[in-house]
Homo-oligomer: A and B are copies of this chain.
C-alpha cells in the first residue's frame, strides 16, 4: 500500500500557533509574487530551442548532483545513475532503470531539501499524490514521461506557468551567447539574461586555461598574452555580455583573497601566469588581483559583481578522473573574508555605484565577518544561504546570524542557483516560507511590527533582488 503525497499548506511554517498565524498572513502576501532568478545554471538552449525534455531520468536525476551524490554516498556507483564517463565507458542508459534505482533509494532523502523540492515537482507539476517508492516507480516514470511529451511541458511554456519574470544563466567569456541571441530574435517574451563568469580565463589552474587565453584573443582581437591586451579583452567581452542583457559578473574562487598590486607588479605576475611557468602562490595572487581588476571594470560598466569562494573543487581525484567536474565532490572550506577582501575594499569599498555580492559555504562567517562587513561597506551586499546551506535550517541560520548586524537592507533576497529547472518555484517557495517564519517570530516576540514584517517579506522576495542586481 502506497503512502499519500500531500503538500501541506502550512509546510515550513513554525509550529507555535501564534507564530504560524502571523507567518501565514505574511506568506499569503508573497506566495504569488513572480519569480526573479538573478543567478542560476539553467541551459539557455532550452529556451532557445523550446524542445521537449527527453525523459524523467535525464531531466531530474542525471544532472542533479544533490541527487546522485546522496545515492553515491550509500554505495551506488555513478555509472548506475547514467553519469557519463570521460573515457566513454559503459554507463546505465535506460532511463526507466535509472529511475527505479532512484525510487528505491528515495528514503535516503528524508529530511533533506532535495526531498522537498522533488515532492513539490511531483505533486504540483505532475499531479502525483502517492509517495515515490520502489512500488510507485513505474507509475511516476510513466506519468512524468507522458507529461514531458506535451506542449505544456516545453521550456517556454513552463517558464510562463512557473511564474518566472526573469531568469539569469551563467556563461563564460568564450561563450558566443548564441542561445541568448536566438531567444531575443525569436520574439518570445521571456526574459533570459546571461552573467559573465570568467573563471576559465582568470584562474591559471583551470583546465585549459592557456587555450582559453588564445580563444579569448580570437574572439576579441586583443593580444591576450599582454597584460594590457588581456584586460582589454575582458572589457570587450563584458561589454558584449552587457549588450546581451547581463547585469552581473560571477566569480567562483577558492578563497576570497584580493590584491591591489602596482601596475608593474601585476604585469610581471601576468607574464608568469601566461607563460605557464607559475607557482600555486602566483595562481592565487593572480586570482586575487583579478578580483580587484573586475571591481575596477564594474565601476566603469556598472555590472554587479558576485563572489562565491570557499569550494574545494573535485575533492575525490578518482571521481574527477573518471567523470570530470561537478560530480558532487566539491567540498566547502573555511574561508576568510575580513583579511582577504581588505585590498579590494581599501580601493573600492566606498566607490559610488559599485556593488559586490558575497556568498559563503562557511557559515561561521555569517556573524563574524559577512554581517559586520556588509553593515559598514557601501559596496557590499550579502547573497542568500548558498548551495549546501540553501535549505530550511541553513536559511534560518543565515537570517538569525546576519540580520542583527547587517540589517535586512544589505541583503539581496533569494538565488536558486540551480540547473534543476522544474524545481525553481519549489526553491523560491521554501525561501519565502522560511523568511515569513523568521519574520513572524520577530513579530510575536515584539521585535518588529507586523506591517513592517509584511513590507520586509515583500522586499526580500522581490524588491531587494531587483535593486541589487539592477534588473
Which residues of A are in contact with B by a Cβ distance under 8 Å? 3, 7-8, 10-19, 69-70, 72-75, 107-113, 116, 131, 312, 315-319, 328-329, 331-334, 336, 338-339, 342, 345-346, 349-350, 352, 361-364, 367-369, 371-378, 380, 388-389, 391-394, 400-401, 403-410, 441-442, 444-449, 451-452, 456
9 closest Cβ contacts across the A-B interface? A11-B446, A8-B446, A391-B404, A15-B444, A111-B403, A331-B338, A317-B346, A332-B368, A75-B378
17 interchain pairs, CB-CB under 8 A: A12-B447, A15-B445, A75-B352, A75-B378, A108-B409, A110-B407, A110-B452, A110-B456, A116-B447, A312-B339, A316-B345, A316-B349, A317-B346, A331-B369, A331-B376, A362-B364, A392-B445
Nearest CB of B to A151, in Å: 33
Chain B residues with CB under 8 A of A111: 403-404, 407-408, 442, 447-448, 456
Alpha-carbon distance between A74 and B400 when the two chains are bound, in angstroms: 21
Alpha-carbon distance between A376 and B330 when the two chains are bound, in angstroms: 9
Nearest CB of B to A59, in Å: 22
Give the nearest-CB partner of A406 in chain B.
B73
Q: Among the listed B363, B375, B400, which residue makes an inter-chain contact with A73, where contact means beta carbons less than 8 Å apart?
A: B375
Alpha-carbon distance between A368 and B441 when the two chains are bound, in angstroms: 27
Nearest CB of B to A119, in Å: 10
Q: Among the listed B17, B74, B334, which residue makes an inter-chain contact with A336, where contact means beta carbons less than 8 Å apart?
A: B334
Chain B residues with CB under 8 A of A408: 110-111
Q: Among the listed B17, B372, B445, B449, which residue makes an inter-chain contact with A13, where contact means beta carbons less than 8 Å apart?
A: B445
Chain B residues with CB under 8 A of A17: 18
Q: A329-B376, A361-B368 are in contact. List 13 more A-B contacts (CB 8 A).
A: A13-B445, A15-B445, A72-B376, A72-B378, A75-B378, A316-B345, A316-B346, A319-B350, A367-B388, A372-B388, A388-B405, A391-B404, A391-B405
Chain B residues with CB under 8 A of A329: 376
Alpha-carbon distance between A109 and B362 when the two chains are bound, in angstroms: 26
Alpha-carbon distance between A184 and B169 when the two chains are bound, in angstroms: 66
Give the nearest-CB partner of A338 in chain B.
B331
Taking a contact as CB atoms under 8 Å apart, the answer to whether A446 and B315 are in contact is: no
Chain B residues with CB under 8 A of A394: 367, 404
Taking a contact as CB atoms under 8 Å apart, the answer to whether A393 and B400 are in contact is: yes
Alpha-carbon distance between A115 and B25 when the two chains are bound, in angstroms: 24
